[in-house]
A and B are shown apart, each in its own frame.
Chain A
Amino acid sequence: MKTPEPFPSPDPFPDDELRLDRMLRESSQTYIDDAGFTGRILGALPPSRRRADYRRAILLLGATALGCGCVALAGGSDLVAFLSAMVERLAAWSMLPVPGLSAAFTVGVLACWALALAAGWWAWMRAR
């Protein structure tokens, strides 16, 4: 009569699993000192985005100032006359009377200047 094979026994060394787990965890607990590594990383990063913001701010403010200066110089004493003539021409097309159109034009120009200055100021503050 054939001897029946023994029933498969559970892991005869259950503690081996725990021992190996402990060995793996403990042998891996090694901290690597920074030793200047972080400094090298920061030195190797691409140029700061803040520099681009500074340039953008200077460009925006400078362009606004230059544009205003050019208009003032080009127009000179005739600037007011030029603007008045332009407003009258526009009034001929639009339904608005001349004074209303003048006011709207003035407000529009001032609003554009204010927006340009505000954008430049915001970019400057963001870059700081």
Chain B
Amino acid sequence: MNHRETELIARVLAWDDRNAFGELVRQHQSAVRGFLRRLTGGRHALADDLAQETFIEAYRSLARYHGESAFASWLLGIAYNRFRTARRRQREMVEWNGEADIQGAAPGSETTVAAAPATVDLRQDLAAALARLSDDEQSAIHLCYAEGLTHEEAAGVLACPLGTVKTHVHRAKEKLRTYLHAWAPG
């Protein structure tokens, strides 16, 4: 956790500084919403609702955060729990089958940071291939690649053993290689 985050958290806890909490939200909203969009199969409205619940719960339980993990990892762990709770309540969230709004984002609401060398078709195929993975495999892949977490950090977010995360990543990549075989060179 960087020094700035430490200071912001301290201000929220000591003085209920809403501006400080707002800055924390701004710093982490993209990661949390992106993670939840991945988990909900591209359902942006649902993902944003879960993201809102995540940040409100983070505000309520901020005193229980003691820096054992990165603040971003702690938030993603809350987000994952909110997703699992919501999924238990609404079973229809599990049915991805072609309902994912992979390109459902409003124009201009998302910005590609790095120009991907792949074509748009490859990105769509990759997104479709990712959507075919199980929830746990998608979560593991997203956390380790999109968020850049280590396997240990991802295990903390998903509340599962390290070996389980490694298995999820390994199996997910095997499946993706199969699904994307057409894009292999040669």
Contact = CB atoms under 8 A, between A and B. Distances in A.
B114 interface: yes
Contacts of A35: 109
B123 interface: yes
A5 interface: no
Interface string A39-73: 01110111011100000000000000000000000
B151 interface: no
A26 B114 contact: yes
Contacts of B81: none
A112 B126 CA distance: 72
Given A29-B114, A45-B56, A48-B18, A24 B141 contact: yes
Contact of B146 (A17, A28, A50): A28
A44 B52 contact: yes
Chain A interface mostly: helix
Nearest to B55: A41
Given A24-B145, A38-B22, A42-B18, A32 B177 contact: no
B30 interface: yes
A114 to B, nearest CB: 26
Interface in A1-25: 13, 16-17, 19-21, 23-25
Interface residues of B, number: 42
Interface in B49-86: 51-52, 55-56, 59-60
Nearest to A39: B22
B155 to A, nearest CB: 18
Nearest to B123: A27
A73 to B, nearest CB: 39
A41 B52 contact: yes
Contacts of B113: 29-31
Interface string B17-30: 01001100110011
Q: Which 9 A-B pairs have the closest CB atoms?
A: A28-B146, A24-B145, A32-B30, A49-B16, A26-B116, A29-B113, A38-B25, A29-B114, A41-B55
